[in-house]
Structure 1
């Protein structure tokens, strides 16, 4: 038993000696101005943060060297025990401390991360801090980023409405990350478009071929008319499906804003093909909401809004 205890104690001594030697070696490692070092926050005050660098001298980060983000709070955003990276500004601040800058380290490390986000197209959340000319400003990885008005929503946001975005949290993607020109541009539009397309697909999945409904002509093209069916859904009524007789252009029979009745004749790849002509070919029976019945061999006549309402949209 004594021999076993002796062995255990010897092992502990070896570990302690190895640990001590490792700590000693780290504490006397060579550090230089400009190096990015990592440490653990050991103290937080109103004007500075103390960092344990596992070195013979502690690190100090002054408030002005912590972040460029106007929403940053030294008491709320930094805590004892946090792991932190910073750049060495001076080896001695005059009081035996190593003067550090988290802002400078952020710029070195952040651009690498931002370039990764640009490549991966990963969705991240940012909080809008201010409205500026032609867009808004947010901070990502501590770097000031610009979100153009044209990238804030699915439709262009007028300058008078930009202020309403301040304080909002947006899901965005990095679309420009140019470290050399210090240019970071974000966009929420692609994410919103993807969500809108997903919602549209879900709604269209509840529409059946044969449905007769009313819509509004939203645009006229040489090849046909786009009909707004409401609830964010529209479909194309090809020029050949507008009238029984041949027409040179949809504008000869239709005008933008006109209410028309159409029949869904095909659904492919999330797109609706509509027909006005089909209503003349086969008499469509109109029924009220209380009388709606869905029969595979017949036609259902209702508004698309009623249909989607019943589907839970």
Structure 2
């Protein structure tokens, strides 16, 4: 009978032993807070002995009062420091458990390519520092923004959406990129914008770059070009005469081609087209100003936004080979309107005909149907 009791007790102790967790130093286990005071926290971890967390093992943020951050009955994750602290208790650490858990979460985020939000804490050589779940991470200057960055200190305190692009747990190296996320968002906005663009509509944008042939404007993910001729109805020699980088402008969509990733814009208001309100006619003699010299003639501005071409053959009665033999930019010149094409916004002018506005009429009057002049017909009588 006594032997049966011993067997039963042995089996009972064995069953208890089997029901207890097998723990090792360095394990992460879950436990429930049994009690706490100003110096330590007692935790049931399902082992034959309860675990104790000294207050210095609660957080990396310095010593804190356990009663202020934890409560009885709360379930927490702990790290096994020692199986036996010398008094039969298991020595635990919450702060180390948090670090291990956070590294596990970071690794998962890295593998899943998750987007996380961080706040920049410090500017350092070559980039900036931040923390994800208490783990220090580095953002290279080239990965802070899609824009050029000169001073990383301007980012301190700023929240950024980032992705982990390098992860090495052994070296405790975590590298982040905000640029990658920004490029993805820009591409989404770009596709969305292309789907809503309509030729002839107005759009607001920002001048991003000036070239000798025009200005580039960002419409919100897609850039368009305002050609020099479309900056103003007046003659423009350089885009900086009208706009500067960073200017907020309202433009017209002249045309867009998604397949070629090309958008043509106009800053000048199409409703103010001066060619629609020309108040002179063919045959009128007007005064203008030479604004450009070409190999084959000269461009003369008559009014703001209205110009015409004086062909080299219409510059002088004398035979000349180059316009600059007679004219230079800035010269005032009287011209006669030979032809007007409002649709093409072109005009043909003549300087030599302006000196004798009736030259064409006299020429027609002097011509007979056979092509002989009156003088030629009666030359014998004149003798």
TM-score bucket of the superposed structures, by smaller chain: 0.5 to 0.7
Q: CA deviation at 1:265?
A: 0.5
In the alignment, structure 1 residue 88 sits paired with structure 2 residue 88: no
1:129-144 to 2 correspondence within 5 Å? 130-133=121-124, 134-140=127-133, 142-144=134-136
Deviation at 1:252, TM superposition (A): 7.7
Q: Which has the higher contact order (CA 8 A, sep 6+)?
A: 1
CA-atom RMSD in angstroms: 4.5
User: How far apart, CA to CA, are the structure 2 residues paired with 1:270 and 1:77?
Assistant: 60
Corresponding position: 1:191 with 2:181 = yes
Superposed CA deviations along residues 201-231 of structure 1, whole A, max 9, x for unmatched, are 5556554112366866532569x7552256x
Structure 1, gaps ≥5 residues long: 1-18, 245-250, 288-313
Is the 8 Å Cα contact of residues 42 and 53 (structure 2) preserved in structure 1? yes
**Secondary structure at 1:161's aligned position in 2?**
helix
Q: Which aligned pairs between 1:159-178 and structure 2 lie closer than 5 A?
A: 159-165=152-158, 170-178=160-168
1:114 pairs with 106, 131, 146, which one?
A: 106
SS at match of 1:64: helix
Structure number, greater radius of gyration:
2
Count of aligned pairs between the two proteins: 250
Report how far residue 103 of structure 1 moved.
3.6
2-side partners of 1:158 and 1:45: how far apart?
48
Q: Residues of 2 paired with 1:162 and 1:213: CA distance?
A: 30
TM-score w.r.t. the length of structure 2 is: 0.50
**Counterpart in the other structure of 1:236:** 224
Following TM superposition, by how much is the alpha carbon of 1:58 offset from its aligned partner in structure 2, in angstroms? 0.8
Conserved 8 A contact 1:201-1:270: no
Q: Find out whether 1:39 has 2:25 as its counterpart.
A: no
Point out the structure with the larger helix share: 1
Distance 1:228 1:71, change over 3 A: farther
State how 1:200-239 maps to structure 2 within 5 Å.
202=192, 205-211=195-201, 217-220=207-210, 227-228=216-217, 232=220, 234-237=222-225
Instruction: Single out whichever of 171-180 and 155-164 deviates more from structure 2.
Output: 155-164
Q: CA, structure 1 residues 32+270, in 2 after alignment: closer, same or farther (shift >3 Å)?
A: farther
Task: Find out whether 1:265 has 2:292 as its counterpart.
Answer: no
Contact 2:118 2:162 in 1 (8 A): yes
